[in-house]
Structures are given as C-alpha cells and as structure tokens.
Amino acid sequence: MLAGRYGALHWQVWAGGTATDLMTMLKILLGGQLVDASGFGGPALYSNEKVNEWWGRADDLPYFVMARSAPVVSRLVAVTDRGTRIELELSKVDPRFGLRFAAAGLPDGEGPGVLLVEVDGQPHGFLRQAMF
C-alpha cells in the first residue's frame, strides 16, 4: 500500500482488518531481508480525530513514524525532539478503509516529538508523542 526508502533501509506499510479493528504494520528491510516489523491496532480513527499515529524503533535502527489519516488530511510533518521537520510520504486514499497511510524515518540520533497535521494546506493542529 505504501513503500519508501530511508538510507539503505526499505520500508513498507501494510494494513488489514476492519474499521473497528484495523492493524497497521511497518516492515523494515535491509538487503531484501526483514529486520524489523511493528505497528498498531485499534479503530481506524478515534472519534472526531483525523489521524491515528505510531512512533517506534528497534534497538539499532532509527525511529520511524507511521500514521493513518482521514482523506481530508493533505500533509503530515513529524517534528523530532531536536526540532527537525520531516514530511511523511502520504498515500492516496485506500478504498478498502477510506483512509490515507503515511510513514517516514527520523534522522539518526533524533527521537519523537510532535506530528503536525494539515487539512487542505492549512494547519489543523498537532499530536504530541508521549514520552518513552
């Protein structure tokens, strides 16, 4: 459904389930071999929310951010704990779920901060990542 690169790593976003129990997974590959897979489940979107997000990492890999969003979301930007802004790659609307999916890797040594949300090119708010 969505794939990209981060340095030598390739990543893929996969989703399956229903609107009330949707699993979204990020698979990370190096040289064609799976080196990590993680994700989140739950409702496609929580009531009155436009985005459902996940931030995570494996021991020796950079942090990644992944999200699923309402079709009206036009842009998602992750801001790291050091203030770096990374625009997430955003898919077209997936007709199976009526959602868009997004992901990006964070720069080495930087961690989660906030996710900025835009609707029709206008700021719509942000989601603050909980402290680990």
pLDDT, tens digit (0-9, with 9 covering 90-100), for 86-95: 999 999 999 9
pLDDT band at residue 128 under the 50/70/90 scheme: low
**pLDDT higher than threshold 70 for residue 131:** no
What is the four-CA torsion angle of 99, 125, 56, 132, rounded to 10 degrees?
A: -150
- Copy the structure tokens of residue 35: 């080196």
Measured CA to CA, the distance from residue 14 to residue 23 in angstroms comes to 8
Q: What is the pTM of this model?
A: 0.91
Average pLDDT over residues 2-25: 96
**pLDDT higher than threshold 60 for residue 129:** no
Q: Write down the mean pLDDT value for the chain.
A: 92
- In order of their start, the domains of the chain are 2-128 (2.60.40)
pLDDT, tens digit (0-9, with 9 covering 90-100), for 88-127: 999 999 999 999 999 999 999 999 999 999 998 887 876 6
